[in-house]
Structure 1
Amino acid sequence: MNRRYAIAAAAFAALLLAVTAAKVLHVPVPWAAPTARAVEQRGPLSDGEKATIEIFERVSPSVVQVAAKSAASPLMGEEGQGGGASGTGFVWDRDGHLVTNNHVIANGGEIAVRFASGEVAKVDLVGTAPNYDLAVLRIRSVRQLPPPIALGSSSDLKVGQSAFAIGNPFGLDQSMTSGIISALKRRLPTHAGREIANVIQTDAAINPGNSGGPLLDSAGRLIGVTTAIISPSGSNAGIGFAVPVDVVNRIVPELIRSGRVPTPGIGIVAAGEDVSTRLGVEGVIVVRTAPGSPAERAGIRGVNFSTGAVGDIITAAEGKPVRRLSDLTDALEQAGAGKTVRLTVKRGSDSRDVNVGIVDIDRS
């Protein structure tokens, strides 16, 4: 009897275990649904989204990737890497001229561009302006040239207004970033040793490869050419710079016309800002004048090295204060070589106005 009971109990236990196992195996798993989930319908795009999309779709066909092959290497790499450089450019006019940064193509060699359509075209170098980090290229042939980007103005920009950049960061073509104009009237040194005045600062993400691309306003108009970033890592840190379009619109036609831009000057060597600061001087201290230069002919004097006495200090140009050398160079560039500028010069406790001719110091 006990044996039969034990056998029956064992059989019941086995049956119960089998049923339990079957139930466990057939429990539905919530993350293994047999069919795709239904798509949730979204509402309409916001007006801001629509405006941004419209800017990209309208402008991006006119933005190109610029690849410059180093004369020493057949490879074209990311900007600042390998034997070549990769940057951005954009269509300037219907004659096939493109604008980019000078530092993108500065190493020489063959230059090619890739359009948004994927078409690759060879280009010729028309001219460079290292003092402004600008260069102009001309397309040899292309099936269909995209339209030039509409020009805006940088004279009426406001800190806080929207800004958009389109370019090829790290070689990733047709990338768009957005932000605001963070500051205006920045000073940006160039590799040529001069400063670009009135530079635009933006927090729109700008990375290596964006150089030479367009900075746009909310109407999709060109307001600057992206040129540099400040970053310990070399990647975007929220501080990018662009050459203002008013400068670009003055320099590019000159490059197309003659292949170069004059460097306006009056023939002086100026003391550094650190010297002026130590002496408590607000203005440009003239160290010396070049023999036969317009400054010398106008009677401007440099430092007296025999006595150590400070020479003339330029404090204004055309009535506007000159506090540093970049203020003076900006005034000379605005006037242009071949013109005359009225300078206010302080000597000791006396100030006087003098008219000084402006020359192209690269050819004088």
Structure 2
Amino acid sequence: MQMLACNSWPLQSHVGLTFFLGRRELLSSLCSNYAPINDAVSSHPITLKRTYQDGSKLVSEVMRYSIPSTTRRMLLTSFFLYLGYHPSRSAQALGDPSVTVKEVTPAVLPSGPLFPNEERIVQLFENNTYSVVNIFDVTLRPQLNVTGVVEIPEGNGSGVVWDGQGHIVTNYHVIGNALSRNPGPGQVVARVNVLASEGIQKNFEGKLIGADRAKDLAVLKVDAPEDLLRPIKVGQSASLRVGQQCLAIGNPFGFDHTLTAGVVSGLNRDIFSQTGVTISGGVQTDAAINPGNSGGPLLDSKGNLIGINTAIFTQTGTSAGVGFAIPSSTVLKIVPQLIQFGKVARAGLNVDIAPDLVANQLNVRNGALILLIPGNSLAAKAGLLPTTRGFAGNIILGDIIVAVDNKPVKSKAELYKVLDDYNVGDKVILKIQRGSESLELPILLEEKNS
């Protein structure tokens, strides 16, 4: 049980008066309004038959005869704390009175102009930050933890303005939770904050246009006025060199429009995306990329888009200096198809390739072994042969693809990686191993079955 403190002293010192006080009333009369203390005493009334000249003797006598010793100690402690920390008592002044505030205030120097490299980075940020948007999955909500810090859901990230029609490019996994519910085209899957020139973020509904899980890319559309949209400028990732400077703008941990800088640390990396697929040709950077940067741009020193930030290699969940971006060459290939068709048409052979484990069991160590070929496929018309069984039940190996247009193929994964650079209808030359023969067959690529 708690009791509140007060500033009053209600006891009166009139000679000859008889007091009937409860211990609760006595304690209430002695404590202040500021600090609660535990009521550890009984509330039964006590009778004082003696007369006193002043209230202080009364308090002392009551505490001596009528209150248990443990409670007296508690009460005395509270009483002296009240006297020592009462607001009316001022603390002892510290400091040096022989000096003035002006004397101990250092001179403030003007900042002066920025160095050329600083000015260039500032301009790059100011020119491109309006092309970066914040994206919030509509199925997720920020949560306030016990420390008062807002925890940003994993589905919150960044995106870039692709054109003046309101198309926004981001990662598939940024809106993955909403996409797992199989929304239809035009359905709202995210909230998109677009930065206006006056520094105010304006909120719009992000409607789904298309998504490609294999490349971890998605396209949304917002109904925003064209003068608010500032499309990103797209550069060539094919001409990147390790060591050149790059910058990332995004929404890490919910801190919108954050700039980080670094260099291109590596090229043609395999990115193990959060969608569970491997993306080839990734750009590695040491620019800090954290949760929330996903979907944001990686820019070169001219401010051109060279990649979409998508993943980090870390054991802590935060940046360890190893970040990855989907190259702009891949983005340029995927995004227009998503805008036009809502999906991506991939070129392929439409044949069944043996998994690496099966190929190894059949003693195929190099190349992609063909298991099955549909009878009506272009591969069958081109003359490719599948794996079959002989009359005695023995396995007769089919054709083994060892190169595509003189690009070596050592496994199933490498075949798909090579074919990913082609479009439906392209003609390629397959180098195959058929028994002891080495052959070259021309073939037209068709749309890969999903």
Q: Is this a same-fold pair by TM over 0.5? A: yes
Cα deviation, 1:170-221, whole Å, max 9, x if unaligned, reads: 1111111111111111122446665322111111111111111100000000
Write the distance in 2 (CA, Å) between the matches of 1:324 and 1:259.
31
**Residue of structure 1 equivalent to 2:448:** 361
C-alpha displacement of 1:128: 0.9
Which residue of the other structure, out of 268, 285, 302, is the alignment partner of 1:219? 302
What SS does structure 2 have at the residue aligned with 1:166? strand
Which residue of the other structure, out of 129, 138, 162, is the alignment partner of 1:92? 162
What SS does structure 2 have at the residue aligned with 1:50? helix
Tell me, yes or no, if the aligned pair for 1:69 and 1:83 is still in contact at 8 Å: no
Q: Percent identity?
A: 37
- Aligned residues between the structures: 334
**Residue of structure 1 equivalent to 2:147:** none
Answer 1 or 2: higher relative contact order, Cα 8 Å, separation at least 6.
1
**Residue of structure 1 equivalent to 2:235:** 152
Give the direction of change, closer, same or farther, for the CA distance of 1:280–1:160 in structure 2 (3 Å limit).
Answer: farther
C-alpha displacement of 1:266: 1.1
* Gapped regions of structure 2 (runs ≥ 5): 1-93, 145-150, 179-187
Give the direction of change, closer, same or farther, for the CA distance of 1:34–1:122 in structure 2 (3 Å limit).
Answer: farther
Write the distance in 1 (CA, Å) between the matches of 2:254 and 2:236.
29
Match of 2:369, as an amino acid? I
Which residue of the other structure, out of 104, 126, 132, is the alignment partner of 1:63? 132
Cα deviation, 1:138-171, whole Å, max 9, x if unaligned, reads: 1113484232111110111101111110000111
Tell me, yes or no, if the aligned pair for 1:90 and 1:213 is still in contact at 8 Å: yes
Write the distance in 1 (CA, Å) between the matches of 2:209 and 2:240.
30
**Residue of structure 2 equivalent to 1:112:** 191
Tell me, yes or no, if the aligned pair for 1:121 and 1:142 is still in contact at 8 Å: no
What SS does structure 1 have at the residue aligned with 2:239? coil
My pick for the range that moved more, 48-57 or 180-189, is 180-189
Tell me, yes or no, if the aligned pair for 1:67 and 1:84 is still in contact at 8 Å: no
Tell me, yes or no, if the aligned pair for 1:68 and 1:84 is still in contact at 8 Å: no
C-alpha displacement of 1:42: 4.3
C-alpha displacement of 1:239: 1.3
Match of 1:104, as an amino acid? V
Give the direction of change, closer, same or farther, for the CA distance of 1:351–1:97 in structure 2 (3 Å limit).
Answer: same
Match of 1:340, as an amino acid? K
What SS does structure 1 have at the residue aligned with 2:201? coil
Aligned-residue RMSD, C-alpha:
2.9
What SS does structure 1 have at the residue aligned with 2:441? strand
Give the direction of change, closer, same or farther, for the CA distance of 1:161–1:275 in structure 2 (3 Å limit).
Answer: farther
Alignment pair present for 1:169 and 2:252: yes
Alignment pair present for 1:39 and 2:123: no
Match of 1:88, as an amino acid? S
Tell me, yes or no, if the aligned pair for 1:197 and 1:326 is still in contact at 8 Å: no
Tell me, yes or no, if the aligned pair for 2:245 and 2:261 is still in contact at 8 Å: yes
C-alpha displacement of 1:236: 0.9
**Alignment of structure 1 residues 131-210 onto 2, 5 Å:** 131-142=214-225, 144-190=227-273, 194-210=277-293
Which residue of the other structure, out of 243, 248, 251, is the alignment partner of 2:326? 243
**Residue of structure 2 equivalent to 1:12:** none
* Gapped regions of structure 1 (runs ≥ 5): 1-23
Over alpha carbons, which structure has the higher Rg?
Answer: 2
**Residue of structure 2 equivalent to 1:285:** 369
